[in-house]
Amino acid sequence: MKILLVGCGKMGGALLTQWMRATSHTYTIIDPFLEAPVEGARLFKDINALGDEKFDLLIVAIKPQMIDEILPAYQSVLSETGAVASIAAGCSVKRLQLALPGFPVVRIMPNLPSAIGAGVAGLYASADATDHHKDTVEDLMQAAGTAVWVDDEDQIDRVTAVAGSGPGYVFEIARAYIEAAKDLGFSEDQARDLVLGTLDGTVRMILETGEPPETLRNSVTSKNGTTEAGLKALNGEGKLSDLLKATTEAAYKRAIELR
C-alpha cells in the first residue's frame, strides 16, 4: 500500500517510525519544513513533486488550523478507492470531507508514547469507510501501541482530552513530584530515580494485578500513617479529583472549539 503523509511533525514522525518498523507499506512525506530525510521514506517539499502519482491512504499530520488552506490541493493524489486518516486533534470528519470531498475519513487520536510503541489511540470512521480502510488504519495504530474504536465522533474528542493530551498531564505531575523530592533534600538524579521508579512500578502493579487503584491505595495506607497524611494533603476534600476533572474538561472544550 502507498501511504502519503501530509506533514511530519513530532507526532507524525513518532508514528512513522513505528509504522516503518512493523509494516511493509511504502511511505512518502510532503513537508516543506522537515530538513532531515527520514530513512526508508521519500521526502518532498511540495505536492508538485508527486506529478500524477496516486496513493491509497493520505495521512493528515498538519495542525488543525492549516486544514482548510492546505488539504484541498491533495484531492487529485488519492486513488479512487483511497481514504483519508487524520491525526489533527479536534478536526471533524465533516471539515476533512469538505476539504477532500468524496473520500472516507478515519480520525485517529494518538498520544506521544506511540514513539516507543506504547501509545494509546482512539479511532473513529465515517460511515462510508470500508472494513478494508478501517483494518488498515487499525493495523497501523496497533503497530504503535493500542487502538480503541469509539462509537461516535464526540467520543474521539473525549479521547483527546484523556489519552491524547494525557501524557502532558503525566509529564507535568512527574516534574512536580521530582521537584518536591528535591525540596526534601535529594539530588536531581536521586529524585528522578525515586519518583520515576515509583511511578513505573505503581502503574505496572495496577496493570499486572488487575486490582482497582482504590483497592491498591487502601492496601498501602495505614491508619494515621505517613501515606494517609500525604493523601490528605494530596486529595483532601477531593482537591486532586476536582483538578483532574477540570483538566480533562478544559482539553475537551478546546477539542470542540477546533472542530
pLDDT in tens, 24-71: 999 999 999 998 878 899 999 999 999 999 999 999 999 988 999 999
| Rounded Cα gap, residues 51 and 236, in angstroms | 63
pLDDT in tens, 124-142: 999 999 999 999 999 999 9
Tell me what the pLDDT averaged over the chain comes to: 95
Q: Which domains does the chain have, with CATH numbers?
A: 2-158 (3.40.50.720), 166-257 (1.10.3730.10)
| Rounded Cα gap, residues 231 and 213, in angstroms | 14
Which has more confidence, 137 or 90?
137
The grid coordinates listed for 255 are 477539542
pLDDT of residue 256: 87
What mean pLDDT comes out for the span 117-125?
96
What mean pLDDT comes out for the span 173-202?
98
pLDDT of residue 87: 95
Q: In 10 A of CB 172, how many CB atoms?
A: 11
pTM of the model: 0.86
Confidence bin at 109 (pLDDT 50/70/90): very high
pLDDT of residue 107: 96
Per the CB < 8 A criterion, the answer to whether 51 and 28 are in contact is: no
What mean pLDDT comes out for the span 110-120?
94
* Amino acid code (one letter) for 219: S
pLDDT of residue 58: 98
pLDDT of residue 140: 97
Per the CB < 8 A criterion, the answer to whether 95 and 67 are in contact is: yes
**pLDDT at 7 > cutoff 90:** yes
